[in-house]
Chains A and B, each alone.
Chain A
Amino acid sequence: MSPFAAALLQSELLPEGLDISFKALPSVLVVGMLLIFLAIGFVFRVADTENMWVAGRSIGNLENGMAIGANWMSAASYLGMAALIATAGVYGLAFVVGWTTGYFILLIFLAAQLRRFGKYTAPDFVGDRFNSDTARAIGAVTTFLIGFVYAIGQARGMALVGLYIFGDLGFLGLSGYQAMVIIMMSITVGYLTLSGMLGATKNMAVQYVILIVAFVAGLYAVGFANGYSTVLPHIEYGALITTLSAEFSEPFVNASYYLWIATAFSLIVGTCGLPHVLVRFYTVENERTARWSTVWGLLFICILYFSAPAFAAFGTDLYAQNIGAVYGDPGMTSSAADVIVVLAAQLSNLPQWFVGLVAAGGIAAAIATTAGLFIAGSSAISHDIYTTIINPDATQRQQVLVGRLSIVLLGVLTTLAALDPAAPIAALVSYAFSLAGAVLFPMFFLGMWWENTNREGALAGMTTGLTIWGISMVNEVVPTYIGGLEAPLSASLATWMPAIGSALIAVPVVFTVTIVVSLATDEPPMETKKIVRQCHSPEPMRQQQTAEDVVTDGGEEMAADGGRAADDGSTAGPAATEE
C-alpha cells in the first residue's frame, strides 16, 4: 500500500500541534457569523415550494456566480485541498485541476441547455427526459447518496475546525471531535429547516464573501508574517518549493500517473453531474445569465484554488519547522493536514482573533455546501419520490413537511457516518464526485446531445453506473466501517478502478451501454425529441418557461410564423394553466 493510501485510511482525529482550547474571541466570531446566517435565513423565510426550491428564478450573473462559488467552496476546497497538496504533493493538484476545469465542460455542453430544459432537480431532468418514474427514482436515490457522502466530509471539516475554536467539549462519553460533529450538524440542520432556498441563496453570496476574505487574508498574513511573500503569495510560493521536501513537488512519488488522471477525470465529470451545482442554473433569469454566471463562478472559485497550494506550501514549511517531519513515518496525520490552513495561521503567531477568522471561514465553507447538498437531497425525496411517485395529490404543506423531515434525516445519517469517518475530507468528497460522474453526467450529456437516447438506454446506463461505483466503494471504503475486514478487498481492483477515480472506467462503459441499448430499442417519442430540440434552439425563452411549455403550447404556431407571434401566443398559455 502506498504511503498516500495509508494516510487516506488513518482516522486519527486529534490534530497534533493544533491549539485545542476554548477561545472567547474566535467563538464570538463563529457564533456571530452563524447568527447572521440565521437572521438572513429568517428574513427570507418562505413557506411555498416554488420559492423553497429555486428562489423564484430571479438571480443575476454576479450573485449566482457567488452562489456557485460558495456552493463549491466546501470544507473540501477550503481545508481538504491544502491538506492533500501538503501530504500528497503533485497528486493533490489533481484536485485543483479537476475541481476548476470541469466548469468549462459544464459551460460548453450543459449549462444553458439545462436552463432551457427548466426542471428543478437532477431527478426531474432524468424522469422527464426519459419519460420514466424508475429513472426519476434512480436519479433521486443517486442525488440523496451524493448529498450524504459529500456531507460526511463537510461534517469532518466543521468538527476538526470546531475543536480549535471551542476546545474539547466531549460529552455523553463522546470524544471532543465527535461532540463537535453533533453540535455543528445541529446548527446546520436548524438553519436549513428555518430557511428555504431563497434564504440559502442570499446567504451563499454573503458566505462567499466571508469565506474568500478569511482565506485570502489568512494567506497574505501567513506569507507576510514568515517572510514567505509580500504582494502576490499565489506566485511567490514558487520560490519556496525548492526548499521543501522533494515529496511536495516531485511528480508521481505519492501516486501514479494513472491515479492522477483517474482522479482528475472523475472530478471533472462529477462537476458536470453534481445536483447541487446544476440546481444553480435553474435559478437564473435566462440561458445567457446561466453562461456568464458559470464564468463568474469559476473566477470566484479560482481565487480560492490559486491560494490553496500557496497555503499548503507555507503550512508544510511551518509544520516541518515547528512540529516535525511532514513526510515519512510518522509524518503529518490526516487530521492535522485537514486543518493545515488553521494550523499555519496559528504557527505564524498571528493574533488569536485572526486565526479564529480563518477557522470561521472553514466553518462557513462547510455550512454553505452542506446547505446546498441537503436542499438537493431533500428535494429529491419530497419532490421526486414523495410527490411524483408516492402521493401525487400532496398539498404544498405536505411537500414542505416531507422536505424538512428529509433534511433532518440526512443530518442524522451524516452525523452518524462522520463520527468515525473513513478518509480525509477531500477523499470522502471525491467518492461523491465519482458517483455523480458515473451515473448523472452520462444521462445529462447524452440526454441533451443525442435526441435518440431513450428510456431503456438510460435505465441500463444508470444501473451500470451505480453498480460500477458500488463495486469500487465496497472494495475500498465499506470495509473500514466493518470490523475484521481490511480495505481494499482486492488490491488490483483498487489500482485499476480506484474509488476516488472510478468514473474514468465508469463513464465510457455507461456511455457505451446507454448508446447500444438506445439503438437496439425504439426511438423516444417525438414530443421528447422536440423538447431536446427546444433546449438547443437559439430562440430566447421567457424566465418561467420550460422547453416542455414551448413544445406543448407554442410549437405549431412557431413553425408557421417564425417565432414572434408564437412567443406572444404562448405567453398566455403556461400562465393560464398555472394560475
Chain B
Amino acid sequence: MAKTFVEKILSRERSVSAGEILEIKPDFAMSHDNTAAIAKTFRQIGIKKIDKPDRHIVILDHCVPAANEKFAQNHKEIREFIKEQKIDHFYDIDRGICHQVICEEGFALPGKIIVGSDSHTTTYGAFGAFATGIGRSEMAAIFATGKIWFRVPETIKITIKGKIPAAISAKDIILKIIGDLKADGALYKSVWFAGPVVEEMSIAGRMVLTNMAVEMGAKNGHIEPDAKTAAYLKNRARVHYKPQYSDPDARIEENYEFEISDLEPQIACPHTVDNVKPASRVKGTKIDQIFFGSCTNARLEDFKIVADVLRNKKIHNHLRMVVIPASNQIYLQALQAGYIKDLIEAGAVLVNPGCGPCMGNHQGVLAPGEVTLSTSNRNFKGRFGCKESEIFLSSPLTAAVSALTGQIEDCRDFIKSSGGKHV
C-alpha cells in the first residue's frame, strides 16, 4: 500500500497507516532547561539508570547564563544529572538555542525519529526527519523505557509556487500560510512543505517553515531532503541516515497551494500568531523594542539581511534593539563577516546566544504598555514576560527597516528608496 512520509518512517517495526496508534523508540530525544524537572519525574518512576544515554541530548538555552538563584539551581541540578547518568551529548550555556544546536551538531537527519520536550522540535523536519514536541512526563518515560506512543497523523501538503519577491523571505511566507490556515489549520497533522519555492530556499529558510509549522497545530513539519540537505549534513551527520520519501500515490488528506509572486511582507499582530496582516496595514505602529533573535530567525543569512540595512546607520533613538544569535557558531561567523560590528555601531545590544526574552525570562522582557517587534515565532499575551505588553512578529528585513524609524514599516518602501540593493 502506498504510504506517506510519516507512515513510512513510523512503520519501522510493523506497517502502520494514518490513524493507528503505535509505540516507538525515537532515535534522538532532546531536552533543555526543563531537564531538571524531567529528571525529578524520572526518579519518581523508581529506576536508577536511564535507557540509552546516547539517545539523549541536553542543551541549556532557555535562561543562560542563569538570571537568578532559582535558574542557577535549576542548571546545577541538570549538570549533576548529566554526570550521574553519563549523558555525553550535553551542551552547557555556551552553545546556543537547542533547535539550532541539534541541527548544527548533525542530529537532525533524514529518516530519523526525533522528539524534544519543546514544541518547536518540529524544526528538524527541514532535514527530512520526523520530529515533534512531547511533554516532560513523556520525556521522563523515554528516559525510563526508551519508548513513546504516537498516533500516526494524516498528511497535509502545502505547495509553494511562484517567484520570491525581493522583500520576501521564508518568514513572510509561513506567516501568510498560518494567517490563512489559522492556528488550528493543521491540528494533529503532518505538514509537508513542497514546491519550487521550497526547493529554492536555503536550509535556514526551510527551518523557518518547519519551526513554525507547530503554530498551526501541526504534529510535525516536513521537507524532502535534496542536494542542499546533503551538502549541509556532509561532515556533520552523527550517524548514517537513509532519507524517506512519500509514495507518489500516498493519501494526502488536504492539498493547499500558495502562489507567492505578489506576496507583501507579513506581520503577525497581537496576541495570536494567526492574526496576520500585510505590513502595509500596520505600518506606522510605534515600537519600543526590536528583538532580533530566536530559533526562528537568528541565523547567519538573517544577520546579513539586518546588517546590510543597518550598516552606517543608526537605529531610531526611542528604540532598543536586542540581538541574540541563535548559536555561538553563528555569532562567530557574524563577527567574522563584520555584521556584529555593523549592528553595534547602529545602536543594537548584543546578547549571548540563547532564548533571551522569548519566554519572558530575562534579557529584554517588556514593561506594561510596551510594544515589541520580534523575529521570533510566538506573540501570545505575556510571552515576553508581561501580559500588558504587545508583540508583533515579522521577518528580519522588516525588523531591520523598522529599527531605523521606530515604527513598523513596509520594507518594500525602503528597498525602493535604496535601489533594491539591500536584498
A binds B: no
